[in-house]
A and B are shown apart, each in its own frame.
Chain A
Amino acid sequence: MNILNLFIFIPLSMLLALFISRNIKQIRATMVTGSTLLLALSVYLTIDFIAQRNAGVSAAQLYCDSWHWYPTLNICYSIGVDGVSVAMILLSSIIVFTGTFASWRIKPQTKEFFLWYTLLTLGVYGFFISTDLFTMFMFYETALIPMYLLIGVWGSGKKEYSAMKLTLMLMGGSAFLLMGILGIYFGSGATTMNIHEIAALGNIPVNIQYIFFPLTFIGFGVLGALFPFHTWSPDGHASAPTSVSMLHAGVLMKLGGYGCFRIAMYLLPQAANDLAWLFIILTTISVVYGALSAISQTDLKYINAYSSVSHCGLVLFALLMMTRTACTGAILQMLSHGLMTALFFAIIGMIYGRTHTRDIRKMQGLMKIMPFLAVGYVIAGFANLGLPGFSGFVAEMTIFVGAFSIDDIFHRVVTIIACTSIVITAVYILRVVGKILYGVPTDSEHLKLTDATWDERFTVICLIACVAALGIAPMWMSNLIGGDVANIISNIQP
């Protein structure tokens, strides 16, 4: 049996187990077992994949499988992975695993929370393993819908508004996406929904591509926080509960970048080449604009949400450069941003759980009160501003080197503009660190607060370890991604 099926099967059995579980112990046991299994499975998949590649297996996709489930429209349940999706699956498993611990004490309606959480997980895995346009879209929607309830029910602040806004905007994106998918399907002669077969046919007329490339790219771009479709992100993140923020920024936003690369650019190459300039401008704006708006925010989650806009903008920016190095950097940035932001949101959630405020003007001197969380925050901050030794540096440098290798004025200028984000990032990160962690505690209520509990420590340590591992030994990951990125790129480049 194909092991990729397990990524669908395990979440399904988790759903079943959660459904019949009766108390908090059984729920936790299910979640821990399931997410640990998923993590172990992804690690195994990664190792096995690398071993196969080293053994010289050069097929574009490994572990392929296909089963027609709606022959009339040529819709298949077809699966397969390459280096890029393996990396994404690994990322998802880490975030799901740590997210489980971050929501250890979630109340009320714990069971329902984890049901939706697992359904979201199912959608994410399904999306990354699918190679069929329609099935992929189906899993994409499966991942989006639970978000509405997770934020609307378990969120905080203006949760109904945020949940509605997020869902409507993402659904709007989905509408574009559906048009794009139909356009691709019919443009290529309506014989297959399989991504690789469509790419191999390469027969979509250019004028059709011009129409559907922007639709598809924007459709995924909404989820990838592309300017000006990013405004769901600050509100959504601010209202979401901790683990949902983690999962959303850590994994769900990656669906956007992955989709842009895998579907929009890969299947509509001519339009991607001709229209890239337009989106490069938008993503460059995202990068700088997100970082600049983060400077003057006062809510911790808003800062991080705008920072995500900036960092995810860099992902799309790098993909549009369409060089091997830049695209490898983009995938690295997805991993790096996923881990870093999850870490950030986890710690912010833990701080919020204690101080009941996220307003940076109301907190001071947390370093003295909760040293563990404060140090964790500083480390997350350093990772975010691209300090060597953490994943952000590796990803950003790969992107900049890759983007700089295109020898024309336009690309040079936008690359330099994007580079300025490394300074702006430092400004907003250090501003927060200086304001809330350093200094002397001013609020006497805060003095009574305690440091992290074991489950929180576990979450933070796991994520820091991953961020550092990717930052210290980036080569294996860059090799894992690089070859398959080159495959995709070769199809896009004219």
Chain B
Amino acid sequence: MQFCIFILILPLLSFLILGLCGSKMPHKLAGTIGTVSLSVVTILAYTVAVIYFGGGRGDEGTFPTLIPYDYTWLPFAGTLSIDMGILLDPISVMMLIVISTVSLMVHIYSLGYMKGERGFQRYYAFLSLFTFSMLGLVVATNIFQMYLFWELVGVSSYLLIGFYYTSPKAIAASKKAFIVTRFADLFFLIGILIYGYYTKTFSFSVNETMLMAASSMLPLSLGLMFVGGAGKSAMFPLHIWLPDAMEGPTPVSALIHAATMVVAGVYLVARLFPLFIGYAPDVLHIIAYVGAFTALYAAVVACVQTDIKRVLAFSTISQIAFMMVALGVCTSSNPHDGGLGYMASMFHLFTHAMFKGLLFLGAGAIIHAVHSNEKSNMGGLRKYMPITHITFLIACLAIAGIPPFSGFFSKDEILAACYNFSTTMGVFMSIIAAITAFYMFRLYNLIFWGKSHYEEELAAYNAREREEKPHKPHEAPFVMTLPLIILAVISSIAGFIPFGEFISSNGESYSIHLQPAVAIASITLAVASIAIATIMYRKGDSKITIYINTHLKGFIKAAYNRFYIDELWLFITKKIIFNGISRPIAWFDRNVIDGSLDKIASMTQKLSNHVRPMQSGNIQSYNIWFLSGALLLILILIYLA
């Protein structure tokens, strides 16, 4: 397994090469360097997976945890130190597969999508940096290494969101993403400090006696760490950065803001799952409630957005919340008894990465074709973009939970876990799953069916109502459709992977079995939602749609504006922090602290101006001073005597 270090070295190397001498490179060469190094990484990742899972289970019936590398990077006093290493266990190996697959697809896709773009080399350099940091994050052997790469992931996300740095929207979005996640990271850091102090190590593997000694502080520490995870994974109310992050290039949204980085929070909770279950089950349930609320909120907002990438962004928030809920509803580490959610969450993470990556890449192909993000500029695209249409449909079916597509299986396990936890939670999440199916098919119908925006414009042009000939939508080039097809195939069949054989909450083999009641109910709900969405949106705005739009106007407006959470944040940052705290402090510093020093200086000067006339050079006044001084002294002496 020693070769697995190259999984980290190659993207780093590619970043350094492209970053240092990319600007003088031809575009083709830069793209090739990035893509080839990622292909090798992908091959290595699959090899690691085959060897790891092929190696079989140990005597306890679990896959072994391998640590091929572990070095002390920065020692502190005592037993504490930051280590750098590679840890292989079922979930990190699974993440390697997910990240390398999606990243490779995005690398290939971008060869077409970003063709001729200014800063092409920079784009590939940042992609490599991101892949390096994300891979480093998942193989971390200790919480501090994870935090370190967590920050690097954040900065590569910042750089990629702000890729089009001349657009004010992109600048604001990148800044917002970085600062919101950084704010969450503050809590993460404090959580780590508490964890490190009480368990005397930053490592994930802590011995039982240390944990028992630290058990009173662990819930606090784990809760704070979850806040960090909630920031990256866009849990309410820290989700505000994610929809704006769509200002970045679309392939970046697919890679970072759908498939990999945003699930880092889920991965963090999964990584610390034994601690959560053992010492802080209540915190775990809080996570479930936060997740459930986020899932509902995002799903409702997704129903009314008009920018297709924003719909997908809110869908991502909602789906990640599903994974959080699945982890949160676990009550024990036995998958047969309350620990099903762990497996379900990881399963959904896997399938979601594939179909959400596909959806974003498909959206990218559409945006590439119509040069707009708005649904009003689309419609009827199925004729013009057949491959994109079919693959997008597959992804929609997968996310809606229609068998045999992958999303059905993973979502079904999540729902089953929720029903095991409580019926209320189960019903609640089932409803959200139905809403998911509704907004996805609303989106699908608006894009591919209904009145074609192009044909309308063409008609207007032919009737001489329009000056220029509209641009005809076209299917994307092969480098862009190939990743779509590959991901569509994975999304179709991934559900049949016996996931429980590889990953389960206690590491033992668990065979997935569908619960008929849950499955039938969720299929029925999904089909019904799809039907409603199709009726409402297939042929433009139907009567029902108009009826709903007029009667729920206020609600829809509020949902479209994301229930004004962003305005609230803006108020806090602009009004309170900037104008209410920073400005007064700066004023105080200049005028009070510095002002008083200046005052002392000017008073000294004034005083000296008053004293100066004594030295007038006038012998008479000197005499007066001398005499009165002498007199005063004599008087004092007399008085003292």
B and A form one assembly: yes
Interface residues as binary, B185-205 with A (CB distance below 8 Å gives 1, 0 otherwise): 110011001101100000000
Determine if B597 and A231 form an interchain contact, defined as CB atoms under 8 angstroms apart: yes
Q: Chain A interface mostly helix, strand, loop or mixed? A: helix
* B residues 170-191 in Cβ contact with A at 8 Å: 171-172, 174-175, 178-179, 182-183, 185-186, 189-190
How many angstroms between the C-alpha atoms of A422 and B179 in the bound complex?
Answer: 10
* B residues 67-98 in Cβ contact with A at 8 Å: 72-78, 80, 82
Instruction: Say how far A452's CB is from chain B's closest CB, in angstroms.
Output: 14
Say yes or no: is B387 at the interface (Cβ < 8 Å to chain A).
no
Say yes or no: is B594 at the interface (Cβ < 8 Å to chain A).
yes
Given known pairs A387-B151, A405-B197, A475-B74, the reply for A438 and B171 (CB within 8 Å) is yes
Determine if A397 and B182 form an interchain contact, defined as CB atoms under 8 angstroms apart: no
Say yes or no: is B339 at the interface (Cβ < 8 Å to chain A).
no
Given known pairs A228-B593, A388-B151, A401-B193, the reply for A438 and B165 (CB within 8 Å) is yes
Given known pairs A367-B165, A426-B178, A434-B175, the reply for A231 and B593 (CB within 8 Å) is yes
Given known pairs A293-B586, A388-B148, A430-B179, the reply for A394 and B166 (CB within 8 Å) is no
Say yes or no: is B111 at the interface (Cβ < 8 Å to chain A).
no
Of the 9-residue stretches B232-240, B514-522, B541-549, B577-585, which lies at the interface with chain A?
A: B577-585
Q: Chain B interface mostly helix, strand, loop or mixed? A: helix
Say yes or no: is A324 at the interface (Cβ < 8 Å to chain B).
yes
Given known pairs A402-B77, A430-B179, the reply for A292 and B581 (CB within 8 Å) is yes
A416 contact from B72, B80, B190, Cβ within 8 A: B190
How many angstroms between the C-alpha atoms of A387 and B152 in the bound complex?
Answer: 7
How many angstroms between the C-alpha atoms of A407 and B197 in the bound complex?
Answer: 9
Most buried by A among B144, B158, B172: B158
Q: Write out the residue numbers on chain B whose beta carbons fall within 8 Å of the beta carbon of A439.
A: 165-166, 168, 171
Q: Write out the residue numbers on chain B whose beta carbons fall within 8 Å of the beta carbon of A297.
A: 586
Say yes or no: is B265 at the interface (Cβ < 8 Å to chain A).
no
Determine if B72 and A475 form an interchain contact, defined as CB atoms under 8 angstroms apart: yes
Interface residues as binary, B223-238 with A (CB distance below 8 Å gives 1, 0 otherwise): 0000000000000000
A434 contact from B74, B152, B172, B585, Cβ within 8 A: B172
* A residues 428-453 in Cβ contact with B at 8 Å: 430-431, 434, 437-440
Say yes or no: is A168 at the interface (Cβ < 8 Å to chain B).
yes
A438 contact from B23, B77, B78, B162, Cβ within 8 A: B162
B76 contact from A292, A401, A438, Cβ within 8 A: A401
Given known pairs A323-B77, A423-B179, the reply for A438 and B166 (CB within 8 Å) is yes
Say yes or no: is A296 at the interface (Cβ < 8 Å to chain B).
yes
How many angstroms between the C-alpha atoms of A400 and B197 in the bound complex?
Answer: 11
How many angstroms between the C-alpha atoms of A355 and B104 in the bound complex?
Answer: 43
Say yes or no: is A153 at the interface (Cβ < 8 Å to chain B).
no
Given known pairs A295-B582, A475-B75, the reply for A426 and B166 (CB within 8 Å) is no
Instruction: Say how far A451's CB is from chain B's closest CB, in angstroms.
Output: 12
Determine if A430 and B175 form an interchain contact, defined as CB atoms under 8 angstroms apart: yes
Determine if A296 and B151 form an interchain contact, defined as CB atoms under 8 angstroms apart: no
Given known pairs A388-B152, A475-B75, the reply for A296 and B80 (CB within 8 Å) is no
* B residues 113-150 in Cβ contact with A at 8 Å: 144, 148-149
* A residues 358-392 in Cβ contact with B at 8 Å: 365, 367-368, 371, 382, 386-389
Determine if A423 and B589 form an interchain contact, defined as CB atoms under 8 angstroms apart: no
A296 contact from B73, B182, B194, B583, Cβ within 8 A: B583
Chain A minimum-CB-distance residue to B136: A388
Determine if A423 and B74 form an interchain contact, defined as CB atoms under 8 angstroms apart: no
Determine if A231 and B589 form an interchain contact, defined as CB atoms under 8 angstroms apart: yes
Say yes or no: is A393 at the interface (Cβ < 8 Å to chain B).
yes
Q: Write out the residue numbers on chain A whose beta carbons fall within 8 Å of the beta carbon of B178.
A: 426, 430
How many angstroms between the C-alpha atoms of A397 and B185 in the bound complex?
Answer: 13
A-B contact count (CB 8 A): 125
How many angstroms between the C-alpha atoms of A296 and B578 in the bound complex?
Answer: 7
Determine if B601 and A168 form an interchain contact, defined as CB atoms under 8 angstroms apart: yes
Interface residues as binary, A81-125 with B (CB distance below 8 Å gives 1, 0 otherwise): 000000000000000000000000000000000000000000000
Say yes or no: is A289 at the interface (Cβ < 8 Å to chain B).
yes
Chain B minimum-CB-distance residue to A478: B74
Instruction: Say how far B496's CB is from chain A's closest CB, in angstroms.
Output: 40
Say yes or no: is B218 at the interface (Cβ < 8 Å to chain A).
no
Chain A minimum-CB-distance residue to B592: A228
Instruction: Say how far B128's CB is from chain A's closest CB, in angstroms.
Output: 14
Determine if B155 and A474 form an interchain contact, defined as CB atoms under 8 angstroms apart: no
Q: Write out the residue numbers on chain B whose beta carbons fall within 8 Å of the beta carbon of A46.
A: none
* B residues 312-366 in Cβ contact with A at 8 Å: none
How many angstroms between the C-alpha atoms of A351 and B586 in the bound complex?
Answer: 24
Say yes or no: is A462 at the interface (Cβ < 8 Å to chain B).
no
Interface residues as binary, B557-574 with A (CB distance below 8 Å gives 1, 0 otherwise): 000000000000000000
Chain A minimum-CB-distance residue to B151: A388
Query: How many residues on the A side are at the interface (Cβ–Cβ under 8 A)?
Result: 55
Q: Write out the residue numbers on chain B whose beta carbons fall within 8 Å of the beta carbon of A437.
A: 165
Given known pairs A422-B186, A422-B189, A426-B182, the reply for A404 and B74 (CB within 8 Å) is no
A404 contact from B152, B197, B582, B594, Cβ within 8 A: B197
Q: Write out the residue numbers on chain B whose beta carbons fall within 8 Å of the beta carbon of A415.
A: 193
Q: Write out the residue numbers on chain A whose beta carbons fall within 8 Å of the beta carbon of B189.
A: 400, 419, 422
Instruction: Say how far B80's CB is from chain A's closest CB, in angstroms.
Output: 6
Given known pairs A388-B151, A422-B182, the reply for A474 and B594 (CB within 8 Å) is no
Determine if B179 and A401 form an interchain contact, defined as CB atoms under 8 angstroms apart: no
B74 contact from A165, A398, A405, A431, Cβ within 8 A: A398
How many angstroms between the C-alpha atoms of A325 and B82 in the bound complex?
Answer: 13
Instruction: Say how far A489's CB is from chain B's closest CB, in angstroms.
Output: 10
Say yes or no: is A420 at the interface (Cβ < 8 Å to chain B).
yes
Say yes or no: is A169 at the interface (Cβ < 8 Å to chain B).
yes
Instruction: Say how far B521's CB is from chain A's closest CB, in angstroms.
Output: 45
Instruction: Say how far B175's CB is from chain A's closest CB, in angstroms.
Output: 5
Determine if B171 and A292 form an interchain contact, defined as CB atoms under 8 angstroms apart: no
Given known pairs A323-B77, A423-B182, the reply for A389 and B175 (CB within 8 Å) is no
How many angstroms between the C-alpha atoms of A168 and B602 in the bound complex?
Answer: 13
Instruction: Say how far B573's CB is from chain A's closest CB, in angstroms.
Output: 8
Say yes or no: is A32 at the interface (Cβ < 8 Å to chain B).
no
Say yes or no: is A427 at the interface (Cβ < 8 Å to chain B).
yes
How many angstroms between the C-alpha atoms of A325 and B196 in the bound complex?
Answer: 14
Instruction: Say how far B314's CB is from chain A's closest CB, in angstroms.
Output: 25
Determine if B155 and A382 form an interchain contact, defined as CB atoms under 8 angstroms apart: yes
Q: Write out the residue numbers on chain A whose beta carbons fall within 8 Å of the beta carbon of B197.
A: 404-405, 407
How many angstroms between the C-alpha atoms of A473 and B178 in the bound complex?
Answer: 26
Q: Write out the residue numbers on chain B whose beta carbons fall within 8 Å of the beta carbon of A482.
A: 75, 77
Q: Write out the residue numbers on chain A whose beta carbons fall within 8 Å of the beta carbon of B190.
A: 416, 419
Q: Write out the residue numbers on chain B whose beta carbons fall within 8 Å of the beta carbon of A371.
A: 23
Q: Write out the residue numbers on chain B whose beta carbons fall within 8 Å of the beta carbon of A168.
A: 601
How many angstroms between the C-alpha atoms of A400 and B193 in the bound complex?
Answer: 8
Chain B minimum-CB-distance residue to A440: B166
Q: Write out the residue numbers on chain B whose beta carbons fall within 8 Å of the beta carbon of A430.
A: 158, 174-175, 178-179
Q: Write out the residue numbers on chain B whose beta carbons fall within 8 Å of the beta carbon of A404.
A: 193-194, 196-197
Instruction: Say how far B381's CB is from chain A's closest CB, in angstroms.
Output: 33
Chain B minimum-CB-distance residue to A161: B598
Given known pairs A430-B179, A438-B166, the reply for A393 and B151 (CB within 8 Å) is yes
Instruction: Say how far B579's CB is from chain A's closest CB, in angstroms.
Output: 8
Determine if B582 and A292 form an interchain contact, defined as CB atoms under 8 angstroms apart: yes
**Apart from the given pairs A292-B586, A400-B189, A423-B183, 12 other A-B contacts in the complex at a CB distance below 8 Å:** A168-B601, A292-B581, A296-B583, A323-B77, A325-B80, A393-B151, A401-B76, A402-B76, A430-B178, A430-B179, A431-B175, A478-B75
21 contacts between A and B (CB under 8 A): A231-B594, A295-B582, A296-B585, A297-B586, A325-B76, A325-B80, A365-B166, A371-B23, A389-B152, A397-B144, A398-B74, A400-B189, A401-B80, A404-B196, A404-B197, A419-B189, A420-B186, A437-B165, A475-B73, A475-B75, A478-B75
Nearest first, the 8 A-B pairs at minimum CB distance are: A295-B582, A231-B594, A438-B165, A296-B582, A404-B193, A388-B148, A293-B586, A325-B77
Chain B: residues with CB nearer than 8 A to chain A?
23, 72-78, 80, 82, 144, 148-149, 151-152, 155, 158, 162, 165-166, 168, 171-172, 174-175, 178-179, 182-183, 185-186, 189-190, 193-194, 196-197, 577-578, 581-583, 585-586, 589, 593-594, 597, 601
